[in-house]
C-alpha cells in the first residue's frame, strides 16, 4: 500500500539547503508530486491488524460513579457548618433585637415583663447557659446592676452561675412573692 502526497511549492518559498544543487524553482512552475512510502517492513502486502477497541465501560458503572459523586456533593452541602458564632457575634445579634434594659422598679410587674422579654429575645440565638446569663446581665442598669454585681461578689464562683439560678434569684429579689400574692389577690377582687 503506497500513498502519495502532493506538495506545492509556494511562490516565495526558498528551497532547503539540502537541495542547494538543484535548479531554482520558477515562480509559475507546476506542482511537484512526490511519492511517499509508508513502509512497515518486509511484508507490505499483509493487512493491518484492527485497532484495539476503546475501553469499554459499563453504562451502569458510569451511572453508579456519577451517583456517588452527586451524593458526595449533596452531603457536603448539607453538612456544611456555618462559622461558629463567638460571644461577641451573639451579643451584637442580641442587641440588634433591641432588648429592654432594666434599672430596677418599685413595680414588680415591670421586672417580670423585662425578664420575659429578655427570655423571648434569647430564644433564637441558641445560647449556652452561661451566655444567657451574660447577655441578660448586660441589660441591667441602675439598682438592678448593683444587685447583680453584689450577687456575683457574694457567689463562690460567679462564672458558674446558671441561667436557672439567675432567673430564680432575679425573681426573688425584684419580684417578691408577697408582692406577687398581693397583686394576684387584687386581680381576683376585681369585678
3-state helix, strand, coil in the chain (%, to 5): 55, 5, 40
104 neighbors 143 (Cβ within 8 angstroms): yes
Residue 165 confidence (pLDDT) = 92
Does 171 reside within a domain?
Answer: yes
Q: Which of 22-36, 39-53, 158-172 has the lowest mean pLDDT?
A: 22-36
Question: For the segment 162-177, what is each residue's pLDDT rounded down to a tens digit?
Answer: 999 999 999 888 887 7
139 neighbors 100 (Cβ within 8 angstroms): yes
Does 151 reside within a domain?
Answer: yes
Which residue has 442587641 as its cell numbers? 95
Rounded CA separation 118/33 (Å):
96
The Cα-based distances of 26 to 13, 29, 32, 34 in angstroms read 10, 5, 12, 18
Does 68 reside within a domain?
Answer: no
Does 135 reside within a domain?
Answer: yes
Q: What angle do CA 173, 174, 178 make, to 5 degrees?
A: 80
Does 141 reside within a domain?
Answer: yes
> Hey, is 33 helix, strand or coil?
strand
The Cα-based distances of 140 to 15, 91, 108 in angstroms read 98, 14, 15
111 neighbors 179 (Cβ within 8 angstroms): no
Residue 182 confidence (pLDDT) = 79
Please list, in sequence order, all residues whose beta carbon lies within 8 angstroms of the beta carbon of residue 85, skipping any fewer than 6 positions away.
Answer: 93
Does 114 reside within a domain?
Answer: yes
pLDDT tier, 83 (very low <50, low <70, confident <90, very high otherwise): low
Does 37 reside within a domain?
Answer: no
Residue 4 confidence (pLDDT) = 44
Does 5 reside within a domain?
Answer: no
Count of the separate structural domains present in the chain: 1
137 neighbors 167 (Cβ within 8 angstroms): no
Which residue has 419580684 as its cell numbers? 175
- For residue 120 the three cell numbers come to 423571648
Q: Across the chain, what does the average pLDDT equal?
A: 76
Q: Note down the domain range covering 151.
A: 107-189
Amino acid at each position: 500500500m503506497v500513498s502519495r502526497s502532493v506538495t506545492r511549492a509556494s511562490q516565495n518559498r526558498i528551497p532547503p539547503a539540502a537541495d542547494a544543487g538543484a535548479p531554482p524553482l520558477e515562480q509559475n512552475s507546476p506542482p511537484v508530486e512526490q511519492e511517499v512510502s509508508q513502509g512497515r517492513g518486509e511484508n507490505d502486502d499483509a493487512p493491518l491488524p484492527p485497532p484495539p477497541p476503546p475501553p469499554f465501560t459499563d453504562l451502569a458503572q458510569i451511572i453508579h460513579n456519577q451517583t456517588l459523586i452527586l451524593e458526595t456533593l449533596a452531603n457536603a452541602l448539607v453538612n456544611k457548618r456555618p462559622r461558629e458564632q463567638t460571644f461577641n457575634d451573639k451579643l451584637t445579634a442580641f442587641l440588634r433585637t433591641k432588648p429592654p434594659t432594666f434599672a430596677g422598679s418599685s413595680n414588680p410587674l415591670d421586672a417580670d415583663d423585662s425578664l420575659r422579654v429578655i427570655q423571648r429575645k434569647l430564644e433564637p440565638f441558641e445560647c449556652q447557659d452561661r451566655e444567657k446569663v451574660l447577655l441578660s446581665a448586660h441589660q441591667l442598669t441602675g439598682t438592678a446592676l448593683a444587685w447583680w454585681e453584689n450577687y456575683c461578689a457574694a457567689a463562690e464562683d460567679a462564672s458558674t452561675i446558671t441561667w436557672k439560678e439567675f432567673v430564680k434569684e432575679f425573681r426573688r429579689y425584684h419580684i417578691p412573692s408577697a408582692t406577687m400574692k398581693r397583686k394576684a389577690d387584687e386581680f381576683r377582687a376585681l369585678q
